[in-house]
């Protein structure tokens, strides 16, 4: 676990060990999500980057034949 300090401009510096582990590059964008009393940072990804991340996933919606017209 690492501790960071928020600057007077509300900025933080991500520790080098975490940047290297997650391969974070300068200019990379993140989405901040507030969950209860914590904040999570999630890398923003383009839709093209997400293609193929769930190989073998069943994409059949499981509809009944009566649902189809």
List, run by run, the mean pLDDT of 10-residue segments along the chain (69 residues).
Answer: 92 94 92 93 76 70 65
**For residue 49, what pLDDT is reported?**
63
Residue 52's pLDDT is what? Answer: 67
Q: What is the pLDDT, as a whole number, of residue 35?
A: 92
Question: Kind of pairing, strands 30-35 and 38-43?
Answer: antiparallel
pLDDT at 65: 67
> What pLDDT score does 17 carry?
94
């Amino acid at each position: 676990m690492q501790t960071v300090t928020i600057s007077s401009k509300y900025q933080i510096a991500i520790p080098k060990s975490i940047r290297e582990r997650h391969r974070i590059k300068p200019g990379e964008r993140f989405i901040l999500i507030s969950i209860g009393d914590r904040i999570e940072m999630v890398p923003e990804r383009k839709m093209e980057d997400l293609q193929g991340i769930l190989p073998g996933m069943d994409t059949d919606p499981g509809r009944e034949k009566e649902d189809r017209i």
